[in-house]
Amino acid sequence: MKDDLGLELSGADAGAHDHYRVALRGLQTFTGDPLAALERAIAARPDFTMAHVLKGWLHALSTEAAAMQVARGAHEAALALPMTDREAAHVAALGALAGGGWAKASRILEVLAKDEPRDALALQIGHQIDFFTGNAPMLRDRIARALLAWDDTMPGYHAMLAAHAFGLEECGEYSRAEAEGRKAARLEPLDGWAQHAVAHVLEMQSRQREGILWMRSNEANWAGDSFLKVHNWWHLALYHYELGDHDAVLSLYDEHVFGEAAGVVLNLVDASALLWRLHLAGVDCGDRWEVLAERWAPHAGAANHAFNDAHAMMAFAAAGRADLMAELEDAQARAAAGAGDNAAFTRDVGQPVAQAVKTFAQGHPADAVRLLLPVRDIAHRFGGSHAQRDFLDLTLIEAVIRTGEATLARSLSAKRHEARPTSPLSELFRKRAADIG
């Protein structure tokens, strides 16, 4: 049978397709429990190829080692089933990613989307791979190439707009990004990625009070049954951080960022990133670091994604957990010597950044400066957004100020002030740099 956009679904029947449709919409809005819907689809039709594929994609993109094992199992199940050429491309791309080949999976999906621009899954999964590999041009262009084949009468159009909006933002095209993100949110108010795309624009343009209004005015849409709710709470907290309202940041951390993070690694990344910003500002975080380090502890030996490792190190170093720091360092060494794209992510960026975080937390800002300066221009290689990777510049500026290197401190703070001229934090950095003797 065919899906709602006319694409063949091998092995599906109407009932299984209904469950698959629920799962796909869950992915496109980041709501609900798409994995449960896929299990129902597979139970109804074990030979439903794309149900196995989508299950594999959802696990592979978690960036967690245990989930990658499930992704490999889903790939093996799909590989044994009948499939069209389009589905075969999905299976090949899933196999590549499950084997650590982020770039190969990206290329396969890019070719597939050129042939089938209405393949929403290929576009959205490719977009997420671009995010995890820090490929800003492809975040924009992968979607842009397909948009002419879409219109607002087609299911999932909002998700295409939201993805394009985020890609535009990461490429600095803020006006178009905001317009498309807001349109996507109007078309589908529950689209957490659309909410997130606009939040990024407002963050990058230092429109903190507008950002707070944007998040608070439609909180019910993104703060309920959404996989992105922790990350969107994190964005709200960033606005308060830039304004210097540290009490509000701590409150948001306690109630929502850490409070709802559970053990999901992507949520733990947000928790570390928020506490680290407070740490840089000299805020006493009480025992929060120790508690967060315990949540990170099961992942200390994974080193499955270099970006995650840096954030795990924040918790371990700030909590003074020498055992967990050593475990993470050993895991990074194995990852850097291994196969797959994460080996290069770790060698080029992940290891020096983790060491910079560690040395800064241990009171050695000069070592942090030495480690961070060479990776500033290549940091996108280990993934994340501009807003997420901002911890690198924040750490570097703070470390330079603490070393008393006046010329470099003034240069770095001036650069940040130029990019964020209305930010109170930018002004504070510039003043502190100017006050160095």
Domain boundary among 256, 274, 294: 256
CA distance 122 to 199: 25
Quickly state the pLDDT bin for 260 (edges 50, 70, 90). confident
The number of distinct structural domains making up the chain is: 2
Find where tokens 């869950």 sit: 26
Q: Assess whether 70 and 178 both reside in one domain.
A: no
Q: Assess whether 285 and 384 both reside in one domain.
A: yes
| CA distance readout (Å), 395 to 155, 177, 280, 404 | 43, 28, 7, 14
Residue 195: give its domain's CATH number: 1.25.40.10
Q: Assess whether 169 and 40 both reside in one domain.
A: no
CB 68 within 8 A of CB 34: no
Q: Assess whether 383 and 331 both reside in one domain.
A: yes
Q: Assess whether 358 and 414 both reside in one domain.
A: yes
| Centroid of chain to Cα 2 | 32
Residue of 306, 324, 307 lying closest to 315 (CA atoms): 324
Domain boundary among 224, 256, 288: 256
More confident residue, 393 or 1: 393
Number of H helices, E strands in the chain: 25, 0
- In a domain, residue 8? The reply is no
Express each pLDDT in 328-346 by its tens digit.
999 999 999 998 999 999 9
- In a domain, residue 2? The reply is no
pLDDT, mean of residues 284-302: 97
Residue of 362, 307, 359 lying closest to 335 (CA atoms): 307
Ramachandran region, residue 6 (left: φ > 0; alpha: ψ -120 to 50; beta: rest): left
What is the phi/psi pair of residue 2, to 5°? -110, 155
Domain boundary among 188, 221, 256: 256
- In a domain, residue 9? The reply is no
Instruction: Give the mean pLDDT of the chain.
Output: 96
Q: Is residue 274 scored above 90 in pLDDT? A: yes
Q: Assess whether 133 and 244 both reside in one domain.
A: no
Q: Assess whether 400 and 280 both reside in one domain.
A: yes
What b/e readout covers 407-431, taking b as 16+ CB neighbours within 10 angstroms? ebbbebbeebbeebeebebbbebbe
- In a domain, residue 5? The reply is no
Quickly state the pLDDT bin for 263 (edges 50, 70, 90). confident
Q: Assess whether 192 and 87 both reside in one domain.
A: no
- In a domain, residue 1? The reply is no
pLDDT of residue 262: 75
CA distance 197 to 89: 29
Q: Assess whether 319 and 372 both reside in one domain.
A: yes
Instruction: Give the angle 304-137-425 at the CA atoms, nearest 5°.
Output: 75
Express each pLDDT in 149-158 by its tens digit.
999 999 999 9
DSSP helix/strand/coil, 119: coil
Q: Assess whether 213 and 314 both reside in one domain.
A: no
Quickly state the pLDDT bin for 31 (edges 50, 70, 90). very high
DSSP state of 9: -
Q: Is residue 353 scored above 80 in pLDDT? A: yes
Q: Assess whether 97 and 109 both reside in one domain.
A: yes
Q: Assess whether 249 and 291 both reside in one domain.
A: no
Residue of 238, 259, 261 lying closest to 249 (CA atoms): 238
pLDDT of residue 90: 98
Instruction: Say what angle helices 192-204 and 157-170 make with each other, to 10 degrees.
Output: 20
The torsion defined by the Cα of 380, 384, 385 and 386, in degrees rounded to 10, comes to -50
DSSP state of 100: T
Q: Is residue 358 scored above 90 in pLDDT? A: yes
Q: Is residue 261 scored above 80 in pLDDT? A: no
Query: What's at 107, amino acid-wise?
Result: R
pLDDT of residue 101: 97
CA distance 92 to 81: 13
- In a domain, residue 7? The reply is no
Instruction: Say what angle helices 265-280 and 306-318 make with each other, to 10 degrees.
Output: 50
Residue of 32, 58, 23 lying closest to 224 (CA atoms): 32
Express each pLDDT in 367-403 by its tens digit.
999 999 999 999 999 999 999 999 999 999 999 999 9
CB 209 within 8 A of CB 240: no
DSSP helix/strand/coil, 226: strand
CB 343 within 8 A of CB 323: no
Domain that holds residue 245: 159-256
- In a domain, residue 236? The reply is yes
Q: Give the rounded percent of residues in the chain with a pLDDT score beyond 90.
A: 97
CA distance 298 to 324: 10
pLDDT of residue 170: 98
- In a domain, residue 233? The reply is yes
